[in-house]
Chains A and B, each alone.
Chain A
Amino acid sequence: MTVLLELKQKIKDFYSEHDVLLLSVFKFLLAFLLFSSINSSLGFMEKLDNIFVVLILAIICAVLPINVMTVIGCVLIIMHCYSVGIEVAGFAVLLIVLLMILFLRFTSEDSLALVLTPAAFHFHIPAAVPIGGGLLKGPTCAIPSVCGVILYFFMQIVKDKSTVLQGKETEAVQKLQILLDGLMKNQEMWLNVLAFTVVLMLVYTISRCSFDYSWRVADGVGAIVYIVIMILGGMFLNVNVHMGSVILSAVLSLIVGFVLEFAVLGVDYSRSEKTQFEDDEYVYYVKAVPKSYVAQKEKSIKTISSDYDRKPEKEPDDDAIPVERVDEENFDFEKQLEESLKDL
């Protein structure tokens, strides 16, 4: 544990030194993952399904705010849909505008969850988003993550029904019906929406409690509730849910939750203290939990020399002004004073 704490301290120091650069690198990686997942899910426009385009877009996102990533992601989805058909692109625009007007305008600060959800589905760890959102953000994070679920399943529908949607015999109204039915009657999507909302609320509520190891308990409860909802929902709603992948996803999300706890919270419950005091109006029950902190060992290099007569040479400081050593006996103070008075 001490080694991990030392490593955390080192990472923190490194991050504080190079925060601007590291933040850009993280944004670049996230944008790269998001755009790659969009391309692998849809990938109908060949010009966009190109590693260089993804790299250029990711570089642009690395220096711009995270909301730009959301906008570029939405534009990518619309353009891929345009390759399937103009009606599909129109529906994608309508869906995104509706999501923005009805839900996302209230949670513009949590747009990271919207971006992370499709990427998490792509990497088969969807439960990591509600667990992470519940631990780090708040209940409002449920809205963008649910919107992310809707966008992800919309992409899946377009991918699955692409042959029908691209067919010239299919009329525009039929295409609209296929897409809308695919969304509204998609039991798996609603099951995921329910699981995301419940898990996020539970994790948030438990992690804010004051009992020991509340974050870990919240992680565990979140993962178990996710498994239970998905499996029971799969049984009752006739959704084809792979039990193994759900459990694996929950376990991986649990690990992500533990990593987040270690990185963000990092407290030592064994040294927690409780105190109680009161004033005229209130009684205070205070619990103080110290943060785990390990002072880093400072490496000092000592040069051992066999030469006794040689004195160690001190390197002069850059800021210090060099002072000339003057022999006091030969120094004429009066003359020096006269000269300085002349200057005055």
Chain B
Amino acid sequence: MLNNQKIKKMHKLALYESGEGKKHLAISNYYRSDYIGLALIKNFFLTTIAYGLLLLIYFGYRSEYLMENIHKMNLALMALQIIGLYIIMVVGYSILTYIYCSVKYAKAQKGIQEYYKGLTQMKKAYDREERRNGRITGRRTKA
């Protein structure tokens, strides 16, 4: 006979697995430090690319002015400014990424805990059913 309670539970678990659980399970494969560390490395490269693109646009936009005035400009100061802005941007985005990933990891852990709780309940339900079937047929289940 169909067990409605079990079907409901299975449906809930399957829904989670195919929905946000897919992302949560992928995240939960990592330790927290590994997950955040990897995200920070990825962030470093992405921020560097973005900063490079921003510089490209800026120099393209001011190219005429730069060509005319490059001999008058303090290039060392300009380089310092560029590096300083880069460091500020990388640090800022790293902090943002750290907060974002911490929150995401905590959410995933919470979801996964609920999922495992559901799985344990399912296992118990299966064990109960197996014991009941064993009693009816007279077969002994393995301990």
Q: How far, in angstroms, from A1 to B49 measured CA to CA in the complex?
A: 55
- Tell me the nearest residue of chain B to A140, going by C-beta: B100
B-side contacts of A94, CB under 8 Å: 53, 56-57
B40: shortest Cβ distance to chain A, in Å? 13
* Partner among B50, B64, B96 whose Cβ is within 8 Å of the Cβ of A98: B50
A294 within 8 A of partner (CB) = no
Given A176-B61, A177-B61: A106 and B53 interface contact (C-beta under 8 Å)? no
A102 within 8 A of partner (CB) = yes
Contact between B61 and A106, CB atoms less than 8 A apart: no
Contact between B47 and A180, CB atoms less than 8 A apart: no
B36: shortest Cβ distance to chain A, in Å? 14
Contact between A97 and B60, CB atoms less than 8 A apart: no
A-side contacts of B47, CB under 8 Å: 101
B63 within 8 A of partner (CB) = yes
Contact between A101 and B64, CB atoms less than 8 A apart: no
A291 within 8 A of partner (CB) = no
B46 within 8 A of partner (CB) = yes
Contact between A180 and B49, CB atoms less than 8 A apart: no
Q: Is the interface of A mostly helix, strand, loop or mixed?
A: helix
Q: How far, in angstroms, from A180 to B100 measured CA to CA in the complex?
A: 30
Q: How far, in angstroms, from A106 to B61 measured CA to CA in the complex?
A: 28
Question: Taking each of B54, B60, B96, which has the highest tally of chain A beta carbons within 10 Å of its own beta carbon?
Answer: B60
Total A-B pairs in contact (CB under 8 Å)? 27
- Tell me the nearest residue of chain A to B48, going by C-beta: A101
B-side contacts of A177, CB under 8 Å: 61
Given A106-B96, A106-B100: A176 and B50 interface contact (C-beta under 8 Å)? no
Contact between A101 and B61, CB atoms less than 8 A apart: no
Contact between A105 and B61, CB atoms less than 8 A apart: no
B-side contacts of A102, CB under 8 Å: 50
Contact between B46 and A173, CB atoms less than 8 A apart: no
B-side contacts of A98, CB under 8 Å: 50, 53-54
Q: What 1/0 mask marks residues of chain B from 39 to 73 whose CB sits below 8 Å from any chain A CB?
A: 00000001101100110110011011000000000
A-side contacts of B54, CB under 8 Å: 98
Given A98-B54, A101-B49, A180-B57: A173 and B96 interface contact (C-beta under 8 Å)? no
A-side contacts of B61, CB under 8 Å: 173, 176-177, 180
Given A106-B96, A106-B100: A176 and B46 interface contact (C-beta under 8 Å)? no
Q: How far, in angstroms, from A206 to B54 measured CA to CA in the complex?
A: 37
Q: How far, in angstroms, from A177 to B49 measured CA to CA in the complex?
A: 22
Q: How far, in angstroms, from A61 to B50 measured CA to CA in the complex?
A: 29
Q: What 1/0 mask marks residues of chain A from 97 to 122 whose CB sits below 8 Å from any chain B CB?
A: 11001100110000000000000000
B104: shortest Cβ distance to chain A, in Å? 10
Binding site for A on B (CB under 8 A): 46-47, 49-50, 53-54, 56-57, 60-61, 63-64, 96, 100
Binding site for B on A (CB under 8 A): 94, 97-98, 101-102, 105-106, 173, 176-177, 180
Known contacts A101-B50, A173-B64, A177-B61; 5 further A-B pairs (Cβ under 8 A): A94-B57, A97-B50, A98-B50, A101-B49, A176-B57
20 A-B residue pairs with Cβ-Cβ distance under 8 Å, sorted by A, are A94-B56, A97-B50, A97-B53, A98-B50, A98-B53, A98-B54, A101-B46, A101-B49, A102-B50, A105-B46, A106-B96, A173-B60, A173-B61, A173-B63, A173-B64, A176-B57, A176-B60, A177-B61, A180-B57, A180-B61
